[in-house]
């Protein structure tokens, strides 16, 4: 029987709005009856509540910073981070956590400090190859590499999202290979087909719907997709479902080309029903960093969980998975060759790869992925 006061503390330098991995981990722990509630510390943003119950047993506490309105220069960012860290460490001390769970590198120093002060075991959950992230350069990259090198061995458990990243961490830091917990969905939804997205965009049943799902931003082939689909044959539609810095570009193309569409992001509970409208899912992460090179994104798994075959770039982790199940297309490097591929895809091709996607979906089981983490937290009860 668990002590009703015991909890697991998650630390996230984020306003905690779209953190699907966190929610899945919390649900697994609560379902295993390891603790009765989970506390998540994030950062407050205007328009959000400082205290929020995301769902039963999962409580978010967003930390309000006095320095929050300071400029975004590096020196001021350092003061903001210090204030956030000290406030969280103090609050962690008032909880009774069996584990402190650091999401991404930004949260690792906070977890390590809590361990040094209070003795709590910690999990380092690297959501990507943290020091090799896209856009990280200069002194920020040096700080990230130095911090991770100094602190990673303080973690009692390390989790990563792909085999390639696990191998990288083990080789570079000479540590035991981290556990791989891929970002697979909790469970596939019903196999019922839906025309919801088609109706919203005015796409006919006989036309082919290519769906891009997620962040509409740099490093994800957004501009390339718009260029190529603006020249695609009749009956090929590209739908962007999401949000991000390149929304304006997509809007511009959608106004000029009737086969390019933009749909605002939907709640997580509606993603699957929209996915089932698609014929092909698009997951074209670009090779612009080592983190992207070794990525195995959750959007790939979301598509396959709904038996939607995928188009991917030639990145090793993704290629290995897609080839194993014959569940999609590896995109050629030039715009002309991509255009030829898009124009050549027909219903028979989609059905062949759909069968592969169905086989892949049968292997995507979050309950299997999360076993090492659940076992670690269970051991924390008696520590």
Query: Residue 6 has what pLDDT?
Result: 85
Domains of the chain: 7-184+366-381 (3.40.50.2000), 196-363 (3.40.50.2000)
Query: Residue 141 has what pLDDT?
Result: 95
The answer to whether residue 383 scores a pLDDT higher than 60 is no
Mean pLDDT across the chain: 93
Residue 235 DSSP code: T
Angle at 44 between CA 39 and CA 49, to 5 degrees: 75
Q: What is the percentage of the chain residues whose pLDDT exceeds 90? A: 86
Residue 338 DSSP code: H
CB burial of residue 197 (10 Å; 0-12, 13-18, 19+): buried
Structure tokens, 191: 């196999």
Query: Residue 338 has what pLDDT?
Result: 98
State the residue for tokens 């990145």.
315
Higher pLDDT, 344 or 20: 344
pLDDT digit string, tens, across residues 276-320: 999 999 999 999 999 999 999 999 999 999 999 999 999 999 999
User: Taking a C-beta distance cutoff of 8 angstroms, is the pair 103, 183 a contact?
Assistant: no
pLDDT digit string, tens, across residues 218-266: 999 999 999 999 999 999 999 999 999 999 999 999 999 999 999 998 8
CA dihedral sign of residues 174, 179, 184, 185: negative
Mean pLDDT of 321-341: 97
Confidence of residue 1 (pLDDT cuts 50, 70, 90): very low
Q: Beta strands of 167-235 (E only): which ranges?
A: 179-180, 208-215
CA dihedral sign of residues 257, 328, 280, 295: negative
Reported pTM: 0.91
Confidence of residue 74 (pLDDT cuts 50, 70, 90): confident
Structure tokens, 338: 């991509």
Mean pLDDT of 167-195: 85
């Amino acid at each position: 029987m668990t002590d009703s006061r015991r909890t697991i503390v998650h630390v996230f330098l984020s306003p905690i709005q779209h953190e699907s991995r966190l929610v899945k981990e919390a649900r697994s722990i609560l379902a295993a009856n390891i603790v009765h509630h989970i506390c998540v510390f994030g950062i407050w943003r205007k328009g959000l509540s400082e205290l929020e119950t995301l769902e039963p047993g999962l409580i978010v506490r967003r930390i309000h910073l006095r320095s929050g309105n300071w400029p975004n220069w590096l020196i001021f960012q350092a003061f903001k981070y210090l204030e956030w860290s000290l406030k969280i460490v103090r609050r962690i001390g008032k909880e009774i956590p069996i584990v402190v769970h650091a999401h991404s590198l930004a949260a690792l120093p906070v977890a390590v400090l809590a361990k040094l002060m209070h003795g709590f075991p910690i999990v380092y959950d690297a959501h990507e190859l943290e020091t090799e992230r896209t856009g990280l350069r200069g002194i920020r990259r040096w700080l990230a590499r130095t911090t991770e090198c100094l602190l990673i061995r303080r973690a009692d458990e390390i989790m990563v999202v792909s085999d390639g990243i696990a191998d990288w961490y083990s080789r570079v830091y000479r540590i035991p290979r981290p556990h791989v917990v891929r970002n697979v969905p909790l469970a596939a939804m019903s196999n019922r087909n839906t025309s919801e997205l088609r109706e919203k965009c005015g796409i006919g049943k006989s036309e082919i719907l290519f769906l891009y799902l997620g962040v509409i931003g740099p490093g994800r082939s957004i501009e390339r997709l718009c260029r190529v689909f603006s020249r695609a044959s009749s009956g090929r539609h590209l739908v962007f479902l999401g949000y991000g810095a390149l929304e304006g570009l997509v809007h511009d193309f959608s106004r000029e080309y009737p086969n390019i569409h933009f749909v605002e992001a939907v709640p997580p509970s509606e993603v699957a029903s929209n996915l089932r409208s698609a014929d092909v899912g698009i997951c074209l992460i670009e090779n612009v960093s080592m983190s992207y090179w070794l990525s195995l994104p959750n959007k790939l798994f979301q598509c396959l969980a709904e038996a939607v075959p995928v188009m991917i770039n030639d990145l090793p982790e993704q290629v290995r998975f897609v080839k194993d199940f014959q569940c999609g297309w590896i995109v050629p490097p030039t715009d002309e060759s991509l255009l030829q591929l898009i124009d050549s895809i027909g219903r028979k091709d989609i059905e062949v790869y759909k069968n592969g996607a169905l086989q892949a979906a049968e292997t995507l089981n979050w309950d299997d992925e999360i076993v090492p983490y659940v076992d670690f937290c269970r051991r924390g009860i008696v520590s």
